[in-house]
Amino acid sequence: MSAKTILVVEDEAQTRNIFLKCLEFEGFQAVGASDGASGVALAQQHQPDLVVCDIMMPDMDGYAVLSALRRSRQTAKIPLIFLTAKVTMADLRRGMDLGADDYLTKPCTVEQFLAAITTRLQRQEELSALYGGDEETSPEKRSLQIPRNLAPLNTPLPKGGRGDLAEVSRNPESPLFFPDDPKLANVFQFIEAHYHQPISLNDVAQAVGYSPAYLTNLVQTHTGRTVKQWIIERRMAQARRLLTDTDQSIRAISEVSGYGDAGYFTRQFRQFNGVSPQLWRQQSVAKTTKSR
């Protein structure tokens, strides 16, 4: 397998040389550019697997470099990580709008630099493997794929022990819980597969190959909610379904829904639903009985 090519666009010679040397030491093909215009030209010439680009550069800044790369079919799909001394909300959103893949804040360690590159390249390979052969379906039309061992929200649950809750089969025709957004499909897939575990923003960010700050702004911009809110919403939806469709104890339902502490689960359930789990169950049973 040939070495991956990384293009570093950085006007500070010392920083650029350090990055290039550590990339070469790790077995990458490293290419350096001292300004934005040279960076765009080298990207077109070498077709790198990833570009790391400083934002604050004279004449042609990082945003202009990214815009130029995204306008060209030859370089449009190359992942780009911005390198910057400071990141404001405005910076993040501007980069996201242009199609940046991540941010690294200077000063950063060599380990952080290499980790960001490795994670992004791995994610790119996963996406290529997942969608590479799908030539007929555009990314915009791809729907979120939920692991087959997970049950959609409206799948009826059997009455019985806790083992039954984990063994529910999914119905492929059921509507999905998360919005169908190609840019966030991998985020929602991870949450769907792990919401019943003690996951955090950092866990999701690491899994999908983004920095926590970038991921937070990406999800909030596209959905109006944070990653944490989506995790909680998914857990609450599961808890409501279990309260309605099973006779499991509150403690058992809290654990299956991702909460190790039943007391904390009860407080958060009341906060999100306006009533306690016990009252929700009573009201659900009453509604079911009345409808009959």
Q: What is the pLDDT of residues 225-275, one digit of tens each?
A: 889 999 999 999 999 999 998 999 999 999 999 998 999 999 999 988 889
Contact between residue 225 and residue 219 where contact means Cβ atoms under 8 Å apart? yes
Q: Which two tokens stand for residue 17?
A: 């040389």
Q: Which sequence spans correspond to the domains of the chain?
A: 5-131, 162-291
How does DSSP classify residue 258? T
Per CATH, domain 162-291 is 1.10.10.60: yes
The domain 5-131 having CATH identifier 3.40.50.2300: the answer here is yes
Higher pLDDT, 165 or 14: 14
For the entire predicted model, the pTM comes to: 0.54
Q: Which residue has the higher pLDDT, 9 or 176?
A: 9
Position 102 scores a pLDDT of 87
Q: Both tokens of residue 159?
A: 């009455």
Q: Which band of pLDDT confidence, cut at 50, 70 and 90, is reported for residue 279?
A: very high
55, with CB counted inside 10 A (0-12, 13-18, 19+), is: buried
The residue among 109 and 166 whose pLDDT is bigger is 109
**pLDDT higher at 276 or 288:** 276
pLDDT digit string (tens) for 152-209? Answer: 333 333 333 333 333 332 332 233 578 888 888 889 989 988 998 989 888 998 888 8
Q: Yes or no: say if 202 and 115 are a contact pair by the CB < 8 Å rule.
A: no
